[in-house]
Amino acid sequence: MMEFKTKADKIIKERYGVTVEHVSAGVTYEDMFYRVVKPGGTSINAGHIYGFPMVKGAWCNKLKVRALNRIDKHAVSYIGIAYDEPKRFKILSQTKRSPLVEARWTEAMCYDWCKQRDLLSPIYQTANRGGCWFCHYQTVDQLRQLRKNYPDYWKLFLKWDDDSPISFHPKHTVHDFEKRFSLEDSGALQTDRSFRWAEVSN
């Protein structure tokens, strides 16, 4: 993915004269959650790592907003909401705008435009959406692809799961997904119905 981002940044600069600036929140997922809680206070995790965050809303978006506010809290933010996503329009305002909505571009139109210009992320070869590899809201198939295509990340994921006092998902641990995928690999999933969940991990 890093190679693709570098390539895309170069194409955008050469073709459209726009320099892409990557803004960091200055803190990683591990910095936030894979660290030991200081003793004292009321935290039940004192002396242990925080572990996976609770699955409650899109808390991670706050990190993006925090990074943008460091630049200019009054600046206009341009958000990638497509014209065929009306349920998301409610967050738009004078300082939160969507060029795609204003131009009436749908997700399919954006996909085709990027594909025709060699700007389509390789993530779309195996997934319908891009996002963080450790996201709790991924589908079962996205987690399956993560395990298959990025075994080092999956190994780290399993370690986080071992160490975390909080489950990765309200109904399933990462090890539950590992068990399911192992059964799929061996062809035994048909006889073990306890791991045959719906494709969406909820």
Phi, psi (5° rounding) for residue 97?
A: -115, 155
pLDDT of residue 188: 76
Please say whether the dihedral angle defined by the alpha carbons of residues 152, 166, 137 and 25, taken in this order, is positive or negative: negative
Token match 């190679």: residue?
3
Please tell me the least confidently modeled range out of 44-48, 106-110, 185-189.
44-48
pLDDT of residue 200: 42
**Highest-confidence range of 8-12, 46-50, 81-85, by mean pLDDT?**
81-85
String of DSSP letters for 11-33: HHHHHH---------S--HHHHH
What H or E segment, with its residue span, contains residue 77? strand 77-78
State whether residue 123 is helix, strand or coil.
helix
Tens-digit pLDDT profile for residues 55-114: 776 677 776 767 667 766 677 888 889 999 999 999 899 888 999 999 999 999 999 998
Tens-digit pLDDT profile for residues 132-144: 888 888 888 889 9
> What is the C-alpha separation between 181 and 147, in angstroms, rounded?
9
> What is the C-alpha separation between 202 and 137, in angstroms, rounded?
8
Phi, psi (5° rounding) for residue 131?
A: 165, -175
Between residues 197 and 113, the one the model is more confident about: 113
pLDDT of residue 16: 80
CB 33 within 8 A of CB 50: yes
CB 156 within 8 A of CB 52: no
pTM above 0.85, yes or no: no
Residue 116 in this model has a pLDDT that exceeds 80: yes
